Structure 1
Amino acid sequence: MQQAADRLNAWAEDWCVSINKKKSSTTLFTLSPKQKAGTIRLGGTPLREDEEATYLGVTFDRRQTWKPHIAQAETKARRKLAILRKLAGTTWGANEKILKTVYQGIIRPHLEYGSTAWSTSAKTNLQTLDRVQNQALRLITGAMKSTPIKEIEKLTPIQPLCQRREAKTMVQAEKLKCLPNHPMKHRLSNLTKNRLKRSSFVHESKRLSRPYREVLPQNTLPLTQEEEETP
């Protein structure tokens, strides 16, 4: 890592690019709570070590539990849920169609963003997001708390988040198989050994695709140049 930091610093000096070292940090991803990363320097300045790193709106924690990201997603969704609560009413307010559109447009995206990365998180973490959708469905339908959530899902109809996460995982896996130079293509197409108790994207996608082996393509080939140009 230090060699990579040195190359980055050399590139920045060659191209006269200034890197804000105060905003730069490092994060060691490991399953061991005792292992610590050594100090990495950028241009002689030691970089601070953070427990979490955010990339494209997804928060990566050191042990890849995804708990911080899911907690942030829940907080954002609950803030928007307050808007839905203001619009809903037993004798006044927006109708069910409008409430459903509001939920699907501004609340559910927070519950699903980047789900192909963190869908292997612990069930207790994922259930916090499911509870947000359950509250939204009760606001949309005006159902009582004692009403079974499965019946509300049939009434709306809005698919459970767990099923949507599984579908997104399978779609993402098939997309990666179509990329000839992507490193995940080889891992998805060959046998892999799971040395850890924790599941991964590769093992989860293979588990989900087993019941659909007869309908899913076994040998996915990338599009040729002629096929791409065909309207």
Structure 2
Amino acid sequence: MNDIPTHKEHGLFADDTALWTASNTMTYLSSRLQQSVDAFESWCNSWKLKLQPTKTEMIHFTIHPRKKYKHPVEVKADNTIIKPLDHTRYLGAIIDKQLNWRRHLDHIETRIAPRIGLLRYLSKTAYEPKNRTMINIFKTTARSIIIYGYPVLLTADQNVWNRIQIIQNKALRAALGLPIYTSVDYIHKISNIPKIKDYATTLLKQSIKTAIEKNDIASKKNLQHI
């Protein structure tokens, strides 16, 4: 990927690639981004890889997300015009142009709903269910989904984490067979489960520590900027 112009950024994970850049004018923004796409397309061709325009999406972040631009940013990929969307998905995280994370949280709630139902069923039907067992099931079936994408979400405002906390509260009540009016503090006290943002912060610190131990300078730098 050395052919990508130096004033652009890029990220790679398996066969998923993200390109991004910034500018204070729409014309220059389109130009800079097009240069990146062209360079990436050239790199793909040199390695006998095929760019998929139908799977290529673009999102435009701006301080005025509701503004309608006369000449919105657009680029071409394999002679196909790519126009900005209101939201896109990258590595499982749904990112919207306003960065309010509503669509991502809606997605989490949809995915977690049947698992909460399963936790509730197990807590009611299991013969003398033990809290420790149910908490372990909660960790593997529910919390792993709730916490997904936490490094990015830690940059979001507290309202986002309040909603994520509500999701965890529901899952814990279901796992422990507790009524919906059980207080949040009591739930976390008897389960010995930290509040979800505290848990995310702990995971971030552990990741930074691991990056330092492995001398992974890039990961350390990115994680410490969160």
Same structural fold, with TM-score higher than 0.5 when normalized by the shorter chain = yes
Secondary structure, counterpart of 1:38 in structure 2: coil
Which residue number corresponds to residue 218 of structure 2?
Answer: 182
SS at match of 1:59: strand
| Pairwise CA distance, 1:35 | 6.7
Aligned residues of 1:77 and 1:111 also touching (Cα < 8 A): yes
Taking only the aligned residue pairs, the percentage that are identical comes to 20
Matched, 1:98 2:133: yes
- CA separation in 2, counterparts of 1:89 and 1:127? 28
Q: Which moved more, 1:150-159 or 1:89-98?
A: 89-98
Question: Structure 1 stretches of 5 or more lacking a match?
Answer: 189-200, 203-231
CA contact (8 A) 1:77 1:110 kept: yes
Q: Displacement of 1:72 after TM fit? A: 1.3
Counterpart of 1:158, as a letter, is I
Of 42, 45, 54, the residue aligned with 1:13 is: 45
Distance 1:93 1:29, change over 3 A: farther
Task: Tell me the C-alpha RMSD between the 2 structures.
Answer: 2.9
Distance in structure 2 (CA, Å) of the matches to 1:83 and 1:99: 11
Segments of 4+ in structure 1 off by > 6 A?
none
Match of 1:161 among 173, 188, 196: 196
CA distance in 2, matches of 1:187, 1:130: 22
Give the corresponding residue for 2:54.
22
Select which of 122, 135, 142 maps to 1:87.
Answer: 122
Distance in 2 (alpha carbons) for counterparts of 1:38 and 1:107: 39
Trace 1:1-231 onto structure 2 (pairs within 5 A).
Answer: 1-33=33-65, 34=67, 37-89=72-124, 94-175=129-210, 179=215, 181-182=217-218, 185=221, 188=224, 202=226
C-alpha change, 1:94 and 1:49, in structure 2 (3 Å) is same
Could you tell me which residue of structure 2 aligns to residue 209 of structure 1?
A: none
Question: Structure 1 residues 97, 8: closer, same or farther in 2, change over 3 A?
Answer: same
TM-score (norm: length of structure 1): 0.69
1:91-142 residue CA offsets vs partner (Å, 9 max, x unmatched): 9574333322211111010011121111232322222221222122223333
- For the pair shown, the structure with the greater C-alpha radius of gyration is 1
Q: Report how far residue 186 of structure 1 moved.
A: 8.9
- Using the TM superposition, name which of 53-62 and 79-88 deviates more: 53-62
Report the secondary structure of 1:5's partner residue.
helix
| Native 8 Å contact 2:73 2:84 kept in 1 | no
The structure carrying a bigger strand percent of its residues is 2
Aligned residues: 190
